[in-house]
């Protein structure tokens, strides 16, 4: 055995491991899906023989308790199972999808949501969740964008750590916690073309500076487990990557939990062309450092023989089993936590629903408002139309495993409840579901619009159109929604467009037809009441985009932290394609990094979001114009609420390293604060920037902070113009301060 590998293991791990047979150690490395309706005899036998260490998706309480009883009372060593579940953004209480949680720019809200989910899921007999997902992506075609925190590594890192803390609590052995799982390690969000499971081609610098920081933040937050990614990076599947799993995760970061494969991702290395067969896949996965195999059977089929033929060392099996046993001890599965407790998730408690509503309120982003919002509660007649206005299922979003539609308050129901009988609500869905092309319901929706003073149009995409395996090449409103919107707009009644979706959609043309646009994502159980409160001014919108919205699919990838190029478009006079003369000279339109037909700006930039009040930024100041390595520089700005409504603003700080040994992004988020101000109130908002956090990985893969000129911006989104400069001096220039 090699127990010197981790001095922080639970003290009982070594003793238990010393009494286990090779087969029992391998059994800890095997995870299978739970049965439905009963427990087959073969599964009972495997549990008695200690050949299964974990199960997932065991949803029937009686079966969950019986499985655990067999493992503990009928096996030789009585090692309990760790039972997992995809508790992605809630258990019975469904919170906004993770991308929407990121739009709150409030990590504490995400931590609170995860804490509620852990309480509900642990009561249902689960010990482990396969969340949070922290894959950075800059391609909204990718369906799993809904499950992550957007395009920025700094923002995603804060949310990753917050959700780990929420799931795991302060004591992992407490009966109301879940072991968290940082997934998918790594580079999954960089899949080519936004096609799920596809290959990723990433330089080591990009991997370390953009895609890995959220995982490092999760490890620093003591995440219990890490899941490998389906994709390959530069020709090596992540599930077989010694570089990722042993060098970076274990050696560099000191991760001491266990690594689990994604669903059959070990077996799928054969499809990748990286492994000859299941035996080869098992060998490469365990050598890379995958401790537990999810669902496929290459470990149970081949590891014993691979040890017998000395193709792998038994010490690798000891390491893997020890990692798993340690987490089981830390979870309190050997005594502190009640094992035979499992129940169908109960009806959400009032406090859980309040937290869900608060998260939804802060996640919804106001993208456009010509002054129509907030609507007056005294409005005489309102038409509520669109396929998502009264659907209690679709607002719950992807990975809704345990939520119930009977708990959902739809937007229509919430509006009726808020306004009461004093306002006449005319409702017509117009379409049965978002993808429908049936126009027979259009006439009723259009008639409602004609009779109303204002239309609230709920558009978007169903839950099934985002999430795992659900990439889209076209990001328009699906089905006949845009046609319905055209016909409603033709009535001349002003439209408030509310978009409910699991990703950024291409909504430029739709937004032109609306007087106001709210982006509601998939907001969860209490999304309806949150939207009603915002539409009618009970609260002001304060969400900010965690992802850039493209104008067209051909603009993808488009993200704020891009490189400048040698010909940045904002520095040149450019002619667009429709304005160019026939037979124009080749260079007469302006040669720059842009598209002739849509330019270079996105539809909406990262960090963008409007309010019902007006926030003004002024008096940006730095504590020093020059700083030394190791110093902290203070940046301050005056924020004033010059409008008429109390509201929250997310103040954002961006920095650019102007010149580096490797070219740097034009801007990088380095800080943000949520500030609430009353009308007429102002406040000095201060940021403290540690120079040690202004670095990057150079060509030698060393993290360096290089001296030179830095530009700093503070404002309400990534295109803020209020700026200042400072210089970071080399140590030898200390006398020049």
Q: How far apart are CA 525 and CA 95, in angstroms?
A: 6
Contact (CB, 8 A) for 132 and 180: yes
Burial readout 64-83 (b: 16 or more C-beta within 10 A, e: otherwise): bbbbbebbbeebeeebbbbb
Q: In sequence order, which ranges of 309-436 are alpha helices (DSSP H)?
A: 314-330, 350-363, 411-419
- Which residue(s) pair with 460 in the sheet? 500
Strands 632-641 and 682-690: antiparallel
First-to-last alpha carbon distance for the chain, in angstroms, is 56
Q: How far apart are CA 143 and CA 160, in angstroms?
A: 19
Contact (CB, 8 A) for 451 and 492: no
The two tokens of residue 495 are: 């439209």
Which are the contacts of 4, defined by CB distance < 8 A and separation ≥ 6? none
Q: How far apart are CA 10 and CA 471, in angstroms?
A: 42
> Residue 405: exposed, middle, or buried by beta-carbon count in 10 A (0-12, 13-18, 19+)?
middle
Q: How far apart are CA 41 and CA 416, in angstroms?
A: 53
Q: How far apart are CA 240 and CA 290, in angstroms?
A: 8
Contact (CB, 8 A) for 628 and 737: yes
E-assigned strands of 352-403?
365-369, 381-385
The two tokens of residue 8 are: 């922080």
- Identify the CA nearest to 400 among candidates 560, 552, 527, 576: 527
Burial readout 359-376 (b: 16 or more C-beta within 10 A, e: otherwise): bbbbbbbbbbbeebbbbe
3-state SS of 68-80? Answer: HHHHHHHCCCCCC
Q: How far apart are CA 627 and CA 646, in angstroms?
A: 38
Q: Give the CA angle between residues 143, 147, 151 to the nearest 5°.
A: 85
Of these residues, 262, 326, 407, 657, which one is catalytic?
Answer: 262
657 counts as catalytic: no
Q: In sequence order, which ranges of 213-313 are alpha helices (DSSP H)?
A: 213-220, 242, 269-272, 278-288, 298-308
- Identify the CA nearest to 291 among candidates 148, 161, 134, 181: 181
- Total H helices, total E strands in the chain: 20, 26
Q: How far apart are CA 562 and CA 671, in angstroms?
A: 18
For 114, the 3-state DSSP assignment is helix
- Residues labelled catalytic: 262
């Amino acid at each position: 055995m090699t127990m010197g590998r981790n001095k922080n293991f639970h003290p009982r791990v070594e003793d238990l491991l010393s009494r286990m047979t090779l087969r029992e150690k391998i059994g800890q490395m095997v995870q299978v899906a739970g049965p439905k309706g009963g427990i087959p005899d073969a599964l009972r036998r495997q549990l008695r023989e200690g050949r299964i260490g974990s199960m997932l998706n065991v949803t029937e309480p009686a079966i969950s308790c019986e499985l655990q009883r067999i493992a503990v009372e009928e096996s030789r060593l009585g090692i309990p199972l760790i039972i997992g579940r995809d508790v992605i953004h809630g258990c019975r209480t469904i919170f906004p999808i993770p991308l929407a949680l990121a739009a709150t720019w409030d990590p504490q809200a995400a931590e609170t949501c995860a804490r509620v989910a852990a309480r509900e899921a642990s009561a249902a007999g689960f010990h482990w969740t396969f969340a949070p997902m922290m894959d950075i992506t800059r391609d909204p075609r990718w369906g799993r964008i809904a499950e992550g925190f957007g395009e920025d590594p700094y923002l995603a890192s804060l949310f990753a750590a917050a959700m780990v803390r929420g799931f795991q609590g302060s004591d992992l052995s407490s009966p109301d916690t879940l072991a968290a799982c940082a997934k998918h390690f790594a580079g999954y969000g960089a899949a080519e073309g936004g096609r799920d499971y596809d290959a990723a081609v990433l330089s080591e610098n990009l991997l370390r500076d953009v895609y890995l920081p959220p995982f490092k933040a999760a490890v620093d937050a003591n995440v219990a487990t890490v899941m490998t990614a389906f994709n390959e990076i530069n020709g090596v599947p992540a599930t077989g990557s010694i570089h990722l799993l042993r060098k970076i995760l274990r050696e560099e970061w000191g991760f001491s939990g266990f690594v689990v494969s994604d669903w059959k991702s070990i077996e799928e290395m054969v499809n990748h062309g990286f492994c000859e067969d299941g035996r080869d896949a098992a060998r490469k996965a365990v050598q890379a450092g995958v401790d537990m195999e999810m669902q496929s059977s290459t470990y149970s089929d081949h590891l014993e023989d691979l040890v017998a033929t000395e193709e792998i060392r038994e010490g690798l099996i000891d390491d893997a089993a020890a990692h798993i046993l340690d987490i089981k001890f830390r979870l309190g599965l050997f005594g502190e936590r009640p094992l035979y407790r499992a129940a169908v998730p109960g009806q959400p408690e009032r406090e859980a629903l309040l937290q869900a509503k608060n998260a939804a309120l802060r996640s919804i982003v106001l993208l456009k408002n010509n002054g129509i919002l907030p609507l007056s509660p005294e409005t005489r007649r309102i038409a509520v139309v669109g396929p998502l206005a009264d659907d209690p299922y679709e607002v719950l979003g992807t990975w809704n495993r345990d939520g119930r539609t009977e708990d959902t308050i739809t937007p229509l129901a919430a509006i009726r409840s808020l306004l009461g009988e004093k306002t006449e609500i005319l409702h017509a869905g117009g379409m049965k579901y978002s993808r429908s092309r049936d126009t027979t319901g259009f006439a009723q929706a259009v008639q409602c619009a004609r009779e109303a003073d204002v239309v609230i149009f709920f558009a978007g995409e169903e839950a099934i159109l985002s999430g795992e395996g659900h990439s889209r090449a076209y990001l328009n409103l699906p089905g006949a929604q845009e046609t319905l919107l055209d016909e409603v707009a033709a009535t001349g009644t002003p439209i408030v467009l509310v978009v409910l979706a699991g990703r950024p959609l291409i909504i430029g043309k739709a937004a032109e037809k609306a007087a106001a646009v709210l982006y509601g994502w998939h907001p969860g159980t209490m999304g309806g009441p949150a939207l009603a409160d915002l539409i009618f001014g009970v609260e002001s919108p304060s969400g900010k985009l965690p992802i850039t919205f493209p104008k067209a699919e051909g603009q993808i990838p488009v993200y704020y932290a891009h490189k400048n190029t040698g010909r940045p478009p904002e520095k040149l006079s450019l002619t667009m394609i429709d304005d160019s003369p026939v037979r124009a000279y080749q260079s007469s339109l302006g040669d720059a990094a842009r598209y002739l037909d849509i330019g270079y700006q996105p539809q909406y930039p990262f960090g963008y979001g409007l309010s019902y009040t007006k926030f003004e930024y002024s008096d940006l100041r730095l504590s020093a114009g020059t700083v030394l390595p190791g110093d902290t520089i203070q940046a301050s700005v005056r924020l004033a609420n010059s409008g008429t409504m109390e509201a929250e603003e997310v103040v954002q700080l961006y920095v650019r390293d102007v010149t580096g040994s490797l070219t740097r992004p034009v801007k990088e988020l380095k800080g943000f604060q949520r500030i609430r101000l009353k009308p007429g109130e102002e406040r000095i908002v201060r940021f403290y920037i540690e120079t040690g956090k202004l670095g990057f990985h150079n060509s030698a893969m060393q993290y360096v902070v290089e001296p030179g000129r830095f530009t700093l911006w503070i404002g309400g989104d990534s295109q803020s113009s209020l700026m200042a400069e400072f210089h970071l001096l080399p140590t030898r220039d200390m006398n020049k301060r």
